[in-house]
């Protein structure tokens, strides 16, 4: 039976480490990384994440056609880290850095992200696999000062809700401690 898990939490909450621990001892895991290396800080963050993972895990870097990429690997154990970066990549790909994002484009971004994730979830269910997804909880802090940040927060919040509804298990991680929500 397929298992679909969402792990959420704030920045540096321990959510990625917890998500990785759900595959403890598994040698064949496909790690989906939608991260784009944009500067030295991001390069250093990626390096730390890679060092923490087992060498046997296969890393696939992409923001699109995730289900097709997983299919090519033949893996039945998938970890997507993270929905937050996936969402920002799709947001900026669609809006091309518009100074303001009209509601129609916001809806398009949200739908594109959701469809990407829904296709991945559906594929993992078909192969009776396991999918662990990591996302940030961005709605617990102050309201962002600028329009783009508010739009991003709102889109990610809605995507997180929609994806959580499709999951078998949902965890909130804070201070490195996971709490099962569903």
As a whole number of angstroms, the distance between CA 72 and CA 110 comes to 26
24 carries an active-site annotation: no
Cβ atoms of 48 and 20 closer than 8 Å: no
Sequence-separated (6 or more) residues with CB below 8 Å from residue 147: 99, 100, 101
Beta strand residue intervals within the chain, DSSP E: 3-9, 30-33, 58-61, 77-81, 130-136, 169-174, 177-180
Q: Strand 177-180 vs strand 3-9: parallel, antiparallel, or unpaired?
A: unpaired
Q: Strand 3-9 vs strand 30-33: parallel, antiparallel, or unpaired?
A: unpaired
Among residues 3, 49, 53, 158, the one annotated as catalytic is 49
Cβ atoms of 20 and 52 closer than 8 Å: yes
CB atoms within 10 A of CB 16: 20
Active-site residue numbers?
49
């Amino acid at each position: 039976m397929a298992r679909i898990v969402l792990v959420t939490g704030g920045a540096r909450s321990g959510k990625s480490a917890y998500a990785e621990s759900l595959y403890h001892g598994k040698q064949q895991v496909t790690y989906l990384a939608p991260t784009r290396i944009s500067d030295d800080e991001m390069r250093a963050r990626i390096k730390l994440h890679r060092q923490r993972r087992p060498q046997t895990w296969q890393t696939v870097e992409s923001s699109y056609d995730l289900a097709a990429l997983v299919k090519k690997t033949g893996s039945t154990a998938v970890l997507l880290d993270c929905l937050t970066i996936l969402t920002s990549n799709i947001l900026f790909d669609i809006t091309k850095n518009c100074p303001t994002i009209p509601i129609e484009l916001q809806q398009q971004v949200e739908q594109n992200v959701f469809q990407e994730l829904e296709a991945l979830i559906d594929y993992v269910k078909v192969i009776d696999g396991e999918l662990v997804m990591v996302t940030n909880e961005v709605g617990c802090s102050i309201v962002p000062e600028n329009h783009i940040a508010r739009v991003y927060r709102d889109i990610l919040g809605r995507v997180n809700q929609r994806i959580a509804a499709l999951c078998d298990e949902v965890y909130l991680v804070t201070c490195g401690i996971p709490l099962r929500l569903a």
